[in-house]
Chains A and B, each alone.
Chain A
Amino acid sequence: MAAEIGQLALILAFLTALFQGAAPLLGGQFSTSPLQASIRVATLVQGGLILIAFLCLTYVHAISDFSVVNVVENSHSAKPFAYKLSGVWGNHEGSMLLWALILALYGAALAVSDRASTLKTLTLSVQGMIASAFIAFILFTSNPFARSFPAPADGMDLNPLLQDPGLAIHPPFLYLGYVGFSLTFAYAVAGLITGKVDAAWARAVRPWALAAWVFLTIGIALGSWWAYYELGWGGFWAWDPVENASFMPWLAGTALIHSLRVVEKREALKVWTVLLAILAFSLSLVGTFLVRSGVLTSVHAFAVDPTRGVFILAILAAVTGGSLLLFALRAPLLQSHATFQPVSREGAILLNNVFLVTACATVFIGTFYPLFIDVLTGTRISVGAPYFNASFLPFMALMLVFLAPGAALAWKKGRLKATIGRLWPALAAAGAIGVIAAWLSWPGPIAAALGAGLAIWAGGGAIVDLLIRIKAFSSPPGAAFIRAANLPRAYLGMTIAHLGLAVVIIGVMGAGVWRTEIVRFMAEGDVISIGGFDARLERVIVEAGPNYTAERAVFSVEREGAALRDLTTERRFYPVRGMQTTEAGIWTMARGDLYLTLGEKSEAAGWAVRAFFNPFAVWMWIGAGLMALGGGVAATDAPRRLMRRAPTIDPGAAIAAPQGAST
């Protein structure tokens, strides 16, 4: 019964979304209040209907209703309850329904927030068009409510790699990010239609762009974290097409949240910002196309179906093609009168955008190169991590060089030498740490030491600038603290996020370059030494889980003879799918992770054990958390300070204003 209710709700949601998208075309007058009200109501109704459909699917998964194909293919009666719930989106059909749900929730959130305006009505309408396309996609190609006759006695279980807390919550965050960019996209299209892309437009868009960026940051970090502890190879990023698919919108989105600030403060870079908004969402769609169509092989691939690929390509053509056509027609009308010197905050943000978009392009080319070559010549090649590291990392390094001084420059016209001069403590610390890192890691790659130095420069620069701004060096602590509390949220958020980026980079250098690895056979009682620790294999026990059996190895970890703690690692076997997973034993410390995995048993030699020491690994997740926190803080920035500022400013006043008076 629940499946039929869900099916019906989905069909009604489709019709409502059609109305929501088409109403302005029929009515013509965006500013009339009946139209505004009806679109607002349609948005909320559509959201409610999708929610009902989603709850119905959750219900059939929760009660293991094996008369529904989706449940049969992705669940098993013995599966833990939490994974019965996460199994709702652990498959193609359910994840697309989650996509539609999040799209609808964003629409509903916009509908209830803020007051009605032409811009908002148009934006909701564009959301409706996107929603109707995706609900149609679900209804016609990926119906999650299809019944199976006769109902089998039990299901085929969920892929064991997905039966994990990290991966259970990873897709919702990722989709909150991907889909969040639908709203900034809708705003961009609405802005092109009205021809008004100004400070007010940017103020309306910025919180949504930041929210999407924060969620995407968390989603990517969760995915990387999951790969790190679940796949058992000690790595965290593999430049896999699906990872790239989430990374490209993130890069474009990062550029967008920066350039939006320029539109908001100075009403410059309008055309560019609109293009970035289109780009960020288009790349989200490309990611969906990539994952669902099977044009590229990937470890993440969902069940692949060419019909779905064609459908998503059609959506992509309509959304991106349509918006770019609108862009070609309308963007030339977006006038920008603001001028700025190359050396200024605007200039720095433009430079940051160039680096980010170029880096995004290198990832794009690397991801799709195999496809391009296949189409042109019929042969297939693969592009590996070396390409990405060689092409992507230099742009990131250049970006880091300019990050600290760029963020500390004044708007409109800044002084580069003076700014760098102010940040000298960060520069000194960066140089010192770079040299020390190079010395300690010698003969390791010098590039990693350079990366660490750049991270200190970027993060330290952010801190020094903050300290100067609150006059921490020249006023009593209380006064400095009050100044800090009164800093604009946008500035605080930026500082936290930049600091987070620096922390991430140190983690990446540590776990990516400086890690050590040993593999050897161990009998019970043997000791393996790595990273200054000695791990003794105490015992291996066989245990039965709810839907798996596990071999669990217990290690006792010692350092210089002193026992510190136990560390357990498991190898699980899931009989229904015939798959094995590793549950790495990880001891996380600030200086690095001790990472142990258990392998096959050889009768003669004992258990194969793989041990890693990954310096600073936890810094990656902490840094990503800081970046997300920074984005969140910036999103709460109150626009009151900006209201007072007229779009045109007397140039003399801006030059005379002390640096740091504004963000």
Chain B
Amino acid sequence: MKRILFLVPLALFVVLGIYFAVGLTRDPSHMPSALIDKPLPEFDLAAIEGETRGFATSDLDGEVALINFFGSWCISCIIEHPVLMDIAAREGVVIAGIDWKDKPGAGKSWLDQRGNPYVFIGDDPSGRTAIDFGITGAPETFIIDHKGRVRYRYAGPITPQIWQRDLKPLVEKLRKEGDDAP
């Protein structure tokens, strides 16, 4: 009986090892989303404190856009932020931001401090819209096509490499689709 007790650490480790092994087969940043190819969830978010303009589903009228969930409390967002600034300035991509579960005023001061890459910013203090999007953490970014459908989802900070490799080609393709459409 006592000997079985000594097997417990090994047994626990084996279970853990299986989890690690399966976990290796999952890419934590590329996630399928139930929303892919579906229309954007309906929302009409108020402006964050200190701004006047909010963000609603209807704002993205026929334009290819990025919707980026961020928060002033989110450290990875600090890493991602200069990349978004760059994309907005250099590539002219419309980026909309949703300030997720932030304290009043915190999002505004964060953007004042670092610069604002967003054309629209919606405030989602309760996380209600985040649930509609099914997001799991910040930052998380969705690519919307000209018909207002969700086409791609990326979890985690966008780095220059990821932008160049995955996101930018898709944005260009979607823009072309939009131009070709009657």
User: Inside 8 A of B75's CB, which chain A residues have their CB?
Assistant: 231, 233, 235, 238, 240, 299
Assess whether A325 is interfacial by the CB under 8 Å rule. yes
A519 adjacent to B113 (CB under 8 Å)? yes
Interface residues of A in 298-330 (CB under 8 A from B): 299, 306, 309-310, 313, 316-317, 320-321, 324-325, 327-328
Q: How far is the CA of A297 from the CA of B138 in the complex (A)?
A: 11
A316 adjacent to B114 (CB under 8 Å)? no
Assess whether B112 is interfacial by the CB under 8 Å rule. yes
User: Inside 8 A of B155's CB, which chain A residues have their CB?
Assistant: 297, 380
Contacts A313-B21, A600-B113 given; does A299 touch B10 at CB 8 Å: no
What's the minimum C-beta distance from A249 to chain B, rounded to whole angstroms? 16
Q: How far is the CA of A183 from the CA of B65 in the complex (A)?
A: 54
Question: Which of B13, B76, B137, B157 has the most C-beta atoms of chain A within 10 angstroms of its own C-beta?
Answer: B13
Q: How far is the CA of A317 from the CA of B10 in the complex (A)?
A: 10
Assess whether B9 is interfacial by the CB under 8 Å rule. yes
B157: nearest chain-A partner, CB-CB? A299
B157 adjacent to A321 (CB under 8 Å)? no
Instruction: State which of A271, A320, A578, A602 has its C-beta within 8 Å of the C-beta of B112.
Output: A602
User: Inside 8 A of B21's CB, which chain A residues have their CB?
Assistant: 313
Assess whether B169 is interfacial by the CB under 8 Å rule. no
A580: nearest chain-B partner, CB-CB? B82
Contacts A299-B76, A371-B19 given; does A324 touch B9 at CB 8 Å: yes
User: Inside 8 A of B132's CB, which chain A residues have their CB?
Assistant: none
User: Inside 8 A of B83's CB, which chain A residues have their CB?
Assistant: 578
Instruction: State which of A321, A327, A519 has its C-beta within 8 Å of the C-beta of B17.
Output: A321
User: Inside 8 A of B115's CB, which chain A residues have their CB?
Assistant: 599-600
What's the minimum C-beta distance from A477 to chain B, rounded to whole angstroms? 50
B161: nearest chain-A partner, CB-CB? A303
User: Inside 8 A of A238's CB, which chain B residues have their CB?
Assistant: 75
Q: How far is the CA of A168 from the CA of B178 in the complex (A)?
A: 48
- Residues 84-97 of chain A: 1 if any B CB is under 8 Å from the residue's CB, otherwise 0? 00000000000000
User: Inside 8 A of B156's CB, which chain A residues have their CB?
Assistant: 297
- Residues 50-79 of chain B: 1 if any A CB is under 8 Å from the residue's CB, otherwise 0? 000000000000000000000000011011
Assess whether A478 is interfacial by the CB under 8 Å rule. no
Stretch of A171-179, A288-296, A432-440 that contacts chain B: A288-296
A239: nearest chain-B partner, CB-CB? B75
A327 adjacent to B6 (CB under 8 Å)? yes
Q: How far is the CA of A307 from the CA of B114 in the complex (A)?
A: 37
Q: How far is the CA of A232 from the CA of B6 in the complex (A)?
A: 48
Which label, helix, strand, loop or mixed, suits the secondary structure of the B interface? helix
Assess whether A526 is interfacial by the CB under 8 Å rule. no
A324 adjacent to B82 (CB under 8 Å)? no
Assess whether B126 is interfacial by the CB under 8 Å rule. no
B112 adjacent to A296 (CB under 8 Å)? no
Assess whether A661 is interfacial by the CB under 8 Å rule. no
B10 adjacent to A328 (CB under 8 Å)? yes
What's the minimum C-beta distance from A126 to chain B, rounded to whole angstroms? 18
B78 adjacent to A231 (CB under 8 Å)? yes
Instruction: State which of B20, B76, B109 has its C-beta within 8 Å of the C-beta of A610.
Output: B109
A316 adjacent to B20 (CB under 8 Å)? yes
- Residues 68-105 of chain B: 1 if any A CB is under 8 Å from the residue's CB, otherwise 0? 00000001101100110010000000000000000000
Contact-size category for A: 35 or more
- Residues 136-175 of chain B: 1 if any A CB is under 8 Å from the residue's CB, otherwise 0? 1100000000000000000111001000000000000000
Assess whether A374 is interfacial by the CB under 8 Å rule. yes
Q: How far is the CA of A597 from the CA of B78 in the complex (A)?
A: 14
User: Inside 8 A of A294's CB, which chain B residues have their CB?
Assistant: 27-28
A599 adjacent to B112 (CB under 8 Å)? yes
User: Inside 8 A of B10's CB, which chain A residues have their CB?
Assistant: 321, 324-325, 327-328
User: Inside 8 A of B26's CB, which chain A residues have their CB?
Assistant: 295, 374-375
Contacts A295-B20, A380-B31, A610-B109 given; does A327 touch B9 at CB 8 Å: yes
- Residues 113-146 of chain B: 1 if any A CB is under 8 Å from the residue's CB, otherwise 0? 1111000000000000000000011000000000
A381 adjacent to B23 (CB under 8 Å)? no
Q: How far is the CA of A188 from the CA of B111 in the complex (A)?
A: 53
B72: nearest chain-A partner, CB-CB? A233
User: Inside 8 A of A597's CB, which chain B residues have their CB?
Assistant: 113
B29: nearest chain-A partner, CB-CB? A297
- Residues 421-450 of chain A: 1 if any B CB is under 8 Å from the residue's CB, otherwise 0? 000000000000000000000000000000
B90: nearest chain-A partner, CB-CB? A578
Q: How far is the CA of A554 from the CA of B3 in the complex (A)?
A: 68
User: Inside 8 A of A240's CB, which chain B residues have their CB?
Assistant: 75
Contacts A316-B17, A321-B13, A324-B13 given; does A306 touch B29 at CB 8 Å: no
Q: How far is the CA of A295 from the CA of B29 in the complex (A)?
A: 9
Contacts A289-B20, A299-B157 given; does A233 touch B78 at CB 8 Å: yes
A380 adjacent to B113 (CB under 8 Å)? no
User: Inside 8 A of A295's CB, which chain B residues have their CB?
Assistant: 20, 23-24, 26, 28
B31 adjacent to A578 (CB under 8 Å)? no
Assess whether A68 is interfacial by the CB under 8 Å rule. no
User: Inside 8 A of A370's CB, which chain B residues have their CB?
Assistant: 28, 136
User: Inside 8 A of A214's CB, which chain B residues have their CB?
Assistant: none
Instruction: State which of B2, B76, B82 has its C-beta within 8 Å of the C-beta of A578.
Output: B82
Assess whether A205 is interfacial by the CB under 8 Å rule. no
Q: How far is the CA of A370 from the CA of B156 in the complex (A)?
A: 14
User: Inside 8 A of A321's CB, which chain B residues have their CB?
Assistant: 10, 13-14, 17
- Residues 18-59 of chain B: 1 if any A CB is under 8 Å from the residue's CB, otherwise 0? 011111101111010000000000000000000000000000
Assess whether B7 is interfacial by the CB under 8 Å rule. yes
B31 adjacent to A521 (CB under 8 Å)? no
Q: How far is the CA of A372 from the CA of B20 in the complex (A)?
A: 9
Q: Which 4 A-B pairs have the closest CB atoms?
A: A599-B113, A519-B109, A382-B137, A600-B115
8 A-B contact pairs sorted by A residue (CB < 8 Å):
A233-B75, A299-B79, A324-B10, A368-B19, A370-B136, A519-B110, A578-B82, A608-B114
Given contacts A313-B17, A324-B13, 8 further A-B contacts (CB under 8 A): A238-B75, A299-B76, A320-B13, A328-B9, A375-B26, A382-B136, A519-B112, A600-B112
